[in-house]
Structure formats: structure tokens, C-alpha cells
Amino acid sequence: MPRTIASQAPYASASLAVGGGTVSGSFLPINYGVSINLKITNGATGPTAAALAIVEVADDAAGTNAGEVFRAPQGDLAANAVNLWPYSLAPFGGGGDWSHYRVRFVAPTGQAVTVAAQASTTTAIT
């Protein structure tokens, strides 16, 4: 069954400072499913506590009734470590009626890190 796949950018690569709180992207459509790659890269000195990568789902693009559906395991604390976590959502948020998702990152302690998320979504099945 042929399908149409489109790239999404849930969160562009950016530095997340120590004590930088929480950063998040916009809510994006799940469509017929989405595959997300979460990435946290440590700097030349690793953090003392790792940053967190979280996926949330919601009823709409405004984030109505948003809730956490995935929290990545704690990443490596080593210098220059690259932590990758793939995650996928089936149509309607994996069995629920969720139509949108977003990625959130929570700041580390000790040293800044670089965070990013990329995704692809199935927009049509023919």
C-alpha cells in the first residue's frame, strides 16, 4: 500500500543551558502515524544530571488536554555523549483519540547540552 511521508521538525537543534527550564516545540499533527527521533548531545564536559526528553500528545494544535506519553530513559553523563531515542505514535496517538504531539526537553544540571528532534509522518495512504 503506497503512502506519502513528510518530514517534520518538532524541535530544531539548540543549546539548552543549565537551569534553562523546559523548552518545547509546537504541537504537530500525528496524521496516519509519526516516527520521532529525540537527541541530546552533551558538551565537552558532561552534565551532572542529564536533560530529559519527553513526548506529549493532545486533542488539537492548541494543546488541549495535553499529556505525557513518553519520557526517554536518562541519558549518558559522559563528555560529548550523543543520546538518541526513537519513538513512534500510531494514528490517533497510539489507540487514543489524540491528533497532535509535541516534544519537550527539560534542562540538565552541571553543563549545557544540545537538544533536537526530527520526525516523519505519513500524510496519505493510497
Each domain of the chain, given as residue ranges in start order, spans 3-125
Tell me what pLDDT residue 20 has. 85
CATH annotation of 3-125 = 2.60.120.660
- The proportion of the chain whose per-residue pLDDT surpasses 70, expressed as a percent, equals 96
Pairing of strands 52-58, 22-24: unpaired
Question: Rounded to the nearest 10 degrees, how much is the dihedral formed by the CA atoms of 112, 79, 115, 95?
Answer: -130
Dist. CA 74–CA 86, nearest whole Å: 14
Rounded to an integer, what is the distance from CA 43 to the centroid of its chain?
20
- Please tell me the pTM assigned to this model: 0.92
Residue 124 has pLDDT above 70, yes or no: yes
Tell me what pLDDT residue 97 has. 80
Write out pLDDT tens, residues 69-96.
Answer: 999 998 899 999 999 999 999 876 565 7
